[in-house]
Chains A and B, each alone.
Chain A
Amino acid sequence: MLFFILSTIGKFLTQNNSRDRDLIRRIASKEPEALSMLYDHYNRLLFGLLKSILKKKEEAEDILQEVFTTIWEKADQFDAERGTAYTWIVSLTRNKAIDRLRSKVYKEQKKQSTSLNDDDVFHPLYSEENNPLENTILSDRAKRVYNALQNLSEKQRSVIQVAYFDGLSQSEISDEYDIPLGTVKTRMRDGMIKLRELLAQEMV
């Protein structure tokens, strides 16, 4: 029951999922208009994501273009049975951003990366100045995720936050924050499982 609820979160919360699937189908048929429409729906969300991870506007725009080019070329590989178009697009975007982040160009920047107490670092969830709940009107979906994250333990939340929003690997988190690697893995797993439970409760 729990799994069933969670597996349908994306479908349930993504009000425009059928619209996205139709656009992806048309993109697979090589209709540029459909690509244009999909871009209009998601460019701001994905660009915000990319800018947060990569920091540089040019790099973020570069990857944004790569993401939609990949969608154009591989739309026929999208499996609607496996998940929503939204999940597919966001996963694709994050994977590309992290690949770029861990490329040689970014190695030096990564070394200088972030501390949880570093004021220069942008943490969309936890920075007072950038608290999305205070500064932007979040959708119900975003509020649910935010609330669920707030209910994690500080230790679980921290490793998930640094991994997700700063793009650090488990090994890097271990080195950077002097936490045993095994502990990082456990906190990450437990935190995500807890998140699943919390989100499932929100759906009930």
Chain B
Amino acid sequence: MAKNENAQNFEELCAAYVLGALTREEKESFEMLLTQASDEQKQFYNDMEVIAAEMALLYPELTPSPSVKQQLIDMAWASVNSSNGANVHYLSRFRYAVAASVAFMLVSIGLLFQTQNLNDDLSDQLALIDLQQNRIEILETEVERKEELLTILEARDVDLILMDGLEVNPSGYGKVVWDKDNGQALLQVANIPSVPTAKEYQLWFVVNNQPISAGVFAVKNPAQDNFFKISEFQQGGTGAFAITLEPEGGSPQPTGDMYLLGSM
């Protein structure tokens, strides 16, 4: 009786196995059972397997995409050609998707770092360009100023007034190149100290003991600040030039120490 039950149980499992109707656990159990099966049971299993395979003929035939075969044959040739003899495994879409995701993540991280580095480099380069641009503007301004000064020197008729240092700053000296026709002058100073905070030098034209302001200028770097242009200086006659230290913006009348003085 028990033998019949076992046989029936084997046949039930076998029929379900070949039809694909067992769960994973049941399938594994049957495969274990099959290893211990009698010859008769093994024959029964073979018959069931043949019948199940024959049933596949009832499926309608369909044509897969040509790429399936192409990938398969490529895989086979790659396997044959691999020099170390290692197997070349087909990546299913799922595995491929996982591998591609990991690769994509790694590439993304790499690109992120690379982008960050490029951004940093770009910022540095932009800062450098700004710095260079400022420097160019300064130099252009300087060239423009020098050209204006040269224009004064190129005038046909100019007066040259030499100025000497006074008691406050005896080593100082200076010159005024005055283009009366065009109402402008070039002032050159040397060896005078840089101006204190809120102070500026003021150039005076003294005629008939009356000081007339010719403009203010600041010497912040005595080694560089040597030349100044005096504009709109429409004066006539003969007199003297003097330079005093005044509050920033200049004074109506001289109030501070006199640094340079020279007569025409």
Contacts and interface: CB of A to CB of B under 8 A. Distances in A.
A73 B19 contact: no
Interface stretch (B50-58, B162-170, B219-227): B50-58
Interface string A122-134: 0011000010100
Given A83-B46, A163-B19, A169-B21, A48 B12 contact: no
Given A48-B61, A83-B49, A189-B15, A98 B75 contact: no
Contacts of A32: 73, 76-77, 80
B33 to A, nearest CB: 15
A28 interface: no
A164 B92 CA distance: 24
A62 B19 contact: no
Interface string A83-98: 1101100110111011
B64 interface: yes
B191 interface: no
Given A66-B90, A130-B60, A169 B23 contact: yes
B48 interface: yes
Contacts of B188: none
A52 B21 contact: no
A166 B64 CA distance: 20
Interface in A29-73: 30, 32, 35-36, 39, 43-45, 47-49, 51-52, 58-62, 64-66, 68-69, 72-73
Contacts of B23: 169, 171
A168 B19 CA distance: 9
A170 interface: yes
A195 B8 CA distance: 16
A39 B92 contact: no
A199 B51 contact: yes
Nearest to A82: B46
A145 interface: yes
Contacts of B44: 3
A153 interface: no
B57 A139 contact: yes
B72 interface: yes
A186 B21 CA distance: 13
A158 B14 CA distance: 18
A69 B90 contact: yes
Nearest to B62: A48
Interface string B58-93: 111111110011011101110110000001011011
B47 interface: yes
A88 to B, nearest CB: 8
A146 interface: yes
Nearest to B54: A145
Contacts of B53: 10, 84, 86-87, 90-91
Interface in A156-170: 160, 163-165, 167-170
Given A10-B50, A73-B89, 7 more contacts: A47-B64, A62-B92, A87-B49, A144-B54, A146-B58, A163-B16, A189-B16
Closest 3 CB pairs of A and B: A32-B76, A142-B57, A69-B90
19 contacts: A9-B54, A32-B76, A36-B69, A45-B57, A45-B59, A47-B64, A48-B61, A49-B56, A49-B59, A69-B89, A83-B50, A87-B49, A87-B50, A91-B53, A94-B56, A168-B21, A189-B11, A192-B15, A196-B48
